[in-house]
Structure 1
Amino acid sequence: MVDFKVVVSDRKAGRAYNIEASGAAASAFVGKKIGDKVEGAALGLAGYSLQITGGSDRTGIAARKDLPGAGRRKILLSKGFGFHPEHEGERRRKTIRGNEITQDFVQINAVVAAYGEKSMDELLGKAEAAEN
């Protein structure tokens, strides 16, 4: 059985929500790519639409949007996501995961693309925490 931790960022409210996804909720993400949109109903967010922005596997290797496929690859990086050069002109071969979500992922990052009628706090049962 597949289990994911989905981190949903609400840019309008400036908050992020950690949601555990397993079973049918997790299978809604498998096979999707970074940049694809997913209905939030699978996570209990009725009326919301989420856009996948990234993720990582159990060893912490991040996924890149511009790397097609599902597996890990060692690619030569000079800048950008997954590598921060220490010297000008530095390049290094790093292991990066492809942009397709598979069962090997542990965390999936997403942002809210379309909002529903109720707030996320109400839908996730965190209204009491927001009031305090």
Structure 2
Amino acid sequence: MPTFKLVLSDPISGKARQFEIKDPLAQRFIGLKIGDELDGSVLKDFLELPKGAKIRITGGSGIEGAPMHPGVPGPVKRYILADGPPGYWPPKRGMRKRKLVRGNTISDSIVQINAVIVYPQGYSGPPAIPLGAKEIEKLTKAKEGTPA
């Protein structure tokens, strides 16, 4: 019985929210790969998305903290020689390091799934994850020209 933390990002508002996904909804995510899209209506219990919106899987991490890597096929753990993200940010150009990563497929050993909302073409409505009161206040002050 898998349980995931879904971190869903909204490109319009720039905000992210975290949801805990349990069975039977969690079974819909098993087998999806990085870059796959899922219909937005599956999250109707958590968030109201506009009609036609989709959810694109962008990554995740396993129970040991290893990030999912798009270049490693399957639901496996592998050591790769990494020269850049995800999983390794070299302090100097050209540096490489052997790092543990997860494959690009979601399995029951994945704990966190990162995803982004893909709005329908030409959508101009409000964001699905709205701005908070402090962010709105900062934006209105910035428009008026007063420092925040």
Shorter-normalised TM range: 0.7 to 0.9
Q: Unpaired runs of 5+ in structure 1? A: 122-126
Structure 2: segments with no counterpart, 5+ residues: 135-148
SS where residue 108 of structure 1 aligns?
Answer: strand
Q: Bigger shift: 71-80 or 31-40? A: 71-80
TM-score (normalised: structure 1) = 0.83
2:72 aligned with 1:67, yes or no?
yes
**Structure 1 residue 89: Cα displacement:** 3.0
Distance 1:86 1:130, change over 3 A: closer
For 2:117 and 2:36, the matched residues in 1 are separated by 12
Shift of 1:32: 0.4
What is the TM-score when the length of structure 2 is the normalising length?
0.74
1:108 aligned residue (113, 127, 137) = 113
Higher-strand-fraction structure: 1
Q: 1:34 to 1:131 in 2, by over 3 A?
A: same
Structure-1 separation of matches of 2:132 and 2:85: 36
**What aligned pairs does 1:1-132 form with structure 2 within 5 A after superposition?**
1-44=1-44, 45=48, 47=51, 48-114=53-119, 120-121=128-129, 130=132
Secondary structure in 1 aligned to 2:6?
Answer: strand
- Mapped to 2, the partners of 1:11 and 1:118 lie a distance apart of 11
State the superposition RMSD in angstroms. Answer: 2.3
Deviation string 1:28-47 (CA, Å, 9 cap, x unpaired) is 11000000001122222453
Give the Å deviation of 1:130: 4.3
Please identify the structure whose Cα radius of gyration is greater.
2
Look up the match of 2:144.
Answer: none
Q: From the superposition, tell whether residues 87 and 2 of structure 1 become closer, same or farther in structure 2 (CA, over 3 Å).
A: same
Aligned length: 126
3-state DSSP of counterpart to 2:8:
strand
Whole-angstrom distance in 2 between the partners of 1:53 and 1:75:
19
- Runs of 4+ residues deviating >6 angstroms: none
